[in-house]
């Protein structure tokens, strides 16, 4: 992996004469204990470790851009940190007064809305969302929340409002088995208030795993999901809330409905983040099943680049505690 990253950095530097180019990344490592698996040292407790390159060039009224970003994980059989390629983002784009157009592998409007609702910032280990089925339909067509082979258009921001439309037709070989994915988002941001609504549809039911378990692709039905996410900064605290519903299109899997609430309380530069989520699954002819989860994190900046964190969570009856450091470069 080291040689690969060095080569990519050299390539980015070589191209700097053609566009403003930035090499960036994050590395997150910590010590974690779960009631199901014991104590381990691992990556990605707070945020996903990543490596990326982005470039931008302005030509008249237009801005051309490219971005590549991939996940760094420690799941290889030999225990080494691995870089599996640019599986998070790989886009080309052009933006101007008309808005922005991007093509490639990119985060969906649905993923961005889900992220907005979580006080724990979609933490890898300490988010209540991971244990609730409905929120885990944030899959895109890759299983990671992004959409490959996609095209997206975002309108200009007008009085705080922005619309986003994404489509990925005829995509084969992805995690869900979906052949078509589409998503629409309507976002509002003005001062302390952020409201995101998004809807998505994809072909091929994929039952997400709970508490870190692998998901299972089980039918070719069309899945439809909607999410409404809100956060408001009161100054003394920032409140978060969200609602989501999913119709799997499969009578055996039924429908899921969830909510999440949370708060982030600053203590100077530090912050405490607490969230709670609950989910109900309804299948015709059977009693509804429910589950809930909660999490709490404390974040403390250690330098301009480093943030220390400690957290505790109860996710689908699996308890997690841990602490670590995220370093940005």
Inform me whether the pLDDT recorded for 60 exceeds 60.
yes
Give me 198's structure tokens: 């998004």
What span, in angstroms and rounded, lies between the C-alpha atoms of 271 and 293? 21
What span, in angstroms and rounded, lies between the C-alpha atoms of 104 and 90? 6
Count of CB atoms situated within 10 Å of the CB of 24: 14
Which of 246, 242, 196, 240 has its CA nearest to residue 221? Answer: 246
Count of CB atoms situated within 10 Å of the CB of 256: 24
What span, in angstroms and rounded, lies between the C-alpha atoms of 121 and 116? 8
48, 30 contact by CB (below 8 A): no
297, 315 contact by CB (below 8 A): no
Half-sphere exposure of 9 (CA within 13 A, CB side): 11
Inform me whether the pLDDT recorded for 173 exceeds 50.
no
Query: Per DSSP, which regions of 44-97 are E strands?
Result: 50-59, 62-73, 82-83, 89-96
107, 252 contact by CB (below 8 A): no
Percent of the chain with pLDDT over 70: 84
CATH class, range 53-80+88-301: mainly beta
Residue range 154-162: mean pLDDT, rounded: 98
pLDDT of residue 207: 58
Q: What is the pLDDT of residues 202-259, one digit of tens each?
A: 886 555 555 555 556 556 678 899 999 999 999 999 999 999 999 988 888 889 999 9
Q: How distant, in Å, are the alpha carbons of 69, 110, 114, 122 from that of 21?
A: 13, 28, 30, 28
**Band (103; pLDDT cuts 50, 70, 90):** very high
294, 311 contact by CB (below 8 A): no
Angle (CA) 70-220-181 rounded to 5° is: 45
Residues in the chain, overall count = 329
pLDDT, mean over the chain? 87
Give phi and psi for 303, each to the nearest 5: -165, -175
Instruction: Give 250's strand partners.
Output: none
Give me 154's structure tokens: 């975002």
Please report, for the chain, the start and end positions of each structural domain, with discontinuous segments joined by +.
53-80+88-301
Q: What is the pLDDT of residues 253-270, one digit of tens each?
A: 889 999 999 999 999 999
Q: What is the pLDDT of residues 126-135, one digit of tens each?
A: 988 866 676 7
Which of 223, 147, 161, 233 has its CA nearest to residue 197? Answer: 161
pLDDT of residue 2: 54
Give me 319's structure tokens: 């308890």
**Band (140; pLDDT cuts 50, 70, 90):** confident
Inform me whether the pLDDT recorded for 295 exceeds 50.
yes
């Amino acid at each position: 992996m080291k040689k690969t990253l060095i080569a990519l950095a050299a390539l980015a530097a070589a191209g700097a004469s053609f566009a403003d180019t930035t090499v960036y990344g994050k590395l997150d490592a910590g010590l974690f204990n779960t009631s199901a698996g014991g104590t381990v040292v691992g990556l990605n407790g707070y945020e996903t470790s990543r490596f990326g390159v982005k470039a931008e060039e302005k030509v008249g009224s237009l801005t051309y851009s490219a971005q590549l970003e991939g996940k760094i994980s420690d799941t290889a059989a030999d225990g080494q940190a691995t870089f599996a390629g640019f599986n998070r983002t790989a886009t080309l784009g052009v933006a101007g007064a008309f808005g922005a157009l991007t093509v490639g592998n990119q985060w969906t409007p649905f993923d961005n809305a889900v992220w907005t609702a979580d006080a724990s910032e979609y933490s890898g280990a300490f988010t209540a969302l991971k244990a609730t089925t409905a929120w885990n339909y944030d899959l895109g067509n890759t299983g990671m929340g992004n959409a490959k082979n996609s095209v997206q258009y975002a309108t200009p921001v007008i009085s705080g409002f922005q619309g986003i439309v994404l489509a990925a037709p005829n995509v084969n070989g992805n995690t869900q088995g979906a052949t078509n994915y589409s998503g629409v988002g309507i976002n509002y941001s003005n001062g302390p208030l952020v409201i995101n609504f998004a809807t998505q549809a994809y072909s091929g039911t994929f039952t997400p795993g709970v508490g870190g378990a692998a998901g299972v692709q089980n039918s070719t039905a069309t899945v439809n999901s909607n999410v409404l996410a809100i956060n408001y900064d009161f100054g003394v605290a920032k409140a978060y809330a969200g609602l989501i519903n999913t119709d799997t299109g499969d009578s055996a899997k039924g429908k899921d409905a969830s909510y999440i609430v949370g708060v982030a309380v600053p203590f100077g530069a530090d912050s405490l983040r607490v969230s709670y989520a609950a989910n109900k699954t309804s299948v015709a002819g059977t009693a509804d099943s429910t589950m809930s989860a909660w999490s709490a994190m404390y974040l403390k900046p250690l330098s301009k680049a480093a943030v220390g964190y400690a957290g505790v969570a109860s996710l689908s009856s699996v308890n997690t505690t841990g602490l670590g450091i995220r370093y940005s470069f």
